[in-house]
Structures are given as structure tokens and as C-alpha cells.
Amino acid sequence: MLTVNGVEIEDTFAEAFPMTAARVVVTAATAAWARTAGQAATGYAASVIGCDAEAAIERELSADETPDGRPGVALLFFGFSRDALQKAVVNRVAQCVLTCATTACFNGLAGDAGRSIKVGGALRYFGDGWQISKLLDGKRYWRMPTMDGEFLCEESFGTVKGVGGGNFLILGYSQAVALAAAEAAVAAVRAVPGVILPFPGGVVRSGSKVGSKYKALKASTNDAYCPTLRGSVASALPEGVNAVYELVFDGLDLPTVEAATRAGVRAACLPGVVRITAGNYGGKLGPHHIHLHRLFDDTR
């Protein structure tokens, strides 16, 4: 049996899948306004099961890290296709960044021209003919007049093939114990560059399984991990476990998701946590299988 800090790590794997990713850099006159735009643009983006994208703030940026020398935030967006991702990013930038005081918007990923999505190139029509284009260092930008000056947005944004659905579950003696472990794990995962946790606060209380007794639903409650259903279903909970929280995260590549899993699991192994496991569907959902034991092979 493999343990980390006395916590059992189940010999299983998290099942992840390919997604298309883009990084959006939003700047503003102050860090607070950049953060406001970032929070609004990444709202309602927990899962593509019911949202147009999975998105969150990756990290805050200092003025010397941004194209225009102002404070900003880096946002990561994930979708199942480039077309779906473009639609989601354009809509969210239009409604939540363009509308936010003092903001500008830039591409945050290098990528092949053939894999880019048009953002400023789509939003420019809001200028109603008064928009102006500028080509600087091979990049095209659009300036659109607004009531506080102008909104600057890069025309095209690069995309990469990222990985969605990285996950692990924390099984604890109590809700308080499991939540404290989840919060510690969230902090550790957020410290890994190139990864986001799209669910509220980075923590999922309503873990799901594929399918439902109701034909209209693609997913339903993961009853095997619901403590109140112990005795009524084929429970996966060891004796004494009374709360489970899941972390779900997306990354720009597989090594990033593996690093996030390792960091998060290690941080979650606190007193009162009984077991760490992961969600998979027998290998049928996605091609990326992140085996928990292998992540700790060099530290046993």
C-alpha cells in the first residue's frame, strides 16, 4: 500500500481528455479592475457538460509582465474544439472585458497561425466603422472607441492542445477535515503554471458519473461517493469517511496536469484524510491516464 504522510493513495488513475486551450491576458489601469474583468469573463465556466467553456484566472500579472506595462491577469479557456473555443472567448471578452473600465486584451500563447482564433478580429465591428487597426512586430491590434477612451484588443489568439479533466478525490472523516485538505490542495495546484481549477473555489462537492436514470441527463451524482447513500448503493467509501471533495483541473499539456496532480495530492494528505483516489470510467472517457502511484514512484 502506498501512503503519503500516512494517507492511503489508491492504486487507480485519473482519466483526462484532450481539449483546445487559449490564454487571454487582460490588463487595466489597476490590478483591481483587471481582476474584476477576469472574474467576470471566467464566470459560469465550471464544466463543458453545461457551460460553453471551462475557464479560470491562471494568475495575476505585474506591470512588467504585460504587453502594455499595466497590471493584469492571465486567463485560461478550454473547449472541445477550436470553433467552440473561439465562440466562447469572443462572447466572454465582448460581454465582460470590453465592457469593463480601462481594460485591454492580448494573446498569451504562441501558436501556429493555422490554429489561432480571431478575437479582436471579430470584436472590431463594435467600433461601427470607427475602429482602427495597427500592425506592430507582425501582430495586428484593433482599437475601438469607448466612452472612457478606447479598447485595444489583439486580432488573433494562439491555441494549443491542452488536457482537461485532471482530478483526484479527497476522502475525509468529516466535512471540515475534507474541506481543509481540499483548500490546501487548491493552493498547491494553483502554484503550478499553466493550470486552472474551473469549479467554484477550485473544489467540487457534486462529483458526477457518466449517465443517469433520466435519459435527458448526460451526467448525474456520483452515488458511490455520497456518504448519505451508504447502504443503499454500491458505496466506494471506507468505514469512517463522511465527506468527499474532488479537485478537477485543466492544463496546457499532460506534464503540467501530472505536476498539478502530484502537488495537489501531496498537499491534501493531512490528518483526518483517510484516502486519496481519482475518477475514471474504465479508460473509456479519455486517452490520458494519470496513475496516482506512478506519480510518487520516486518518493516511496
pLDDT confidence tier of residue 218, bands split at 50, 70 and 90: confident
Residues 27, 152, single domain; the answer is yes
Residues 202, 71, single domain; the answer is no
Residues 177, 272, single domain; the answer is yes
Listed residues 134, 160, 186: the one ending a domain: 160
What's the average model confidence in pLDDT over 59-73? 98
In whole angstroms, what is the distance from residue 31 CA to residue 143 CA? 22
Residues whose CB is less than 8 angstroms from the CB of residue 239 and which lie 6 or more positions away in sequence, other chains included: none
**Residue 300 contacts residue 32 (beta carbons within 8 Å):** no
pLDDT confidence tier of residue 300, bands split at 50, 70 and 90: very low
pLDDT tens digit sequence for 245-287: 999 999 999 999 999 999 999 999 999 999 999 998 887 788 9
pTM to 2 decimal places: 0.95
How many domains, in total, are found in the chain? 2
pLDDT of residue 210: 85
pLDDT tens digit sequence for 87-118: 999 999 999 999 999 999 999 998 766 799 99
**Residue 273 contacts residue 177 (beta carbons within 8 Å):** yes
Listed residues 160, 188, 204: the one ending a domain: 160
Listed residues 118, 140, 160: the one ending a domain: 160
What's the average model confidence in pLDDT over 9-31? 97
285 HSE (CA, 13 A, CB side): 21
Residues 39, 152, single domain; the answer is yes
Residues 155, 22, single domain; the answer is yes
Residues whose CB is less than 8 angstroms from the CB of residue 252 and which lie 6 or more positions away in sequence, other chains included: 21, 23, 76, 160, 162, 163, 194, 195
Residues 176, 110, single domain; the answer is no
Residues 9, 68, single domain; the answer is no
pLDDT of residue 283: 79
pLDDT tens digit sequence for 24-50: 999 999 999 999 999 999 999 999 989
Mean pLDDT of the chain: 95
In whole angstroms, what is the distance from residue 299 CA to residue 158 CA? 37
Give the strand pairing for 273-277 and 160-172: antiparallel
Residues 81, 128, single domain; the answer is yes
Residues 269, 193, single domain; the answer is yes
pLDDT of residue 285: 80
List the CATH number of the domain containing 132: 3.30.70.520
Residues 134, 46, single domain; the answer is yes
What is the span of the domain harbouring residue 208? 2-15+161-299
Residues 165, 257, single domain; the answer is yes
pLDDT of residue 281: 81
pLDDT confidence tier of residue 1, bands split at 50, 70 and 90: confident
Residues 207, 240, single domain; the answer is yes
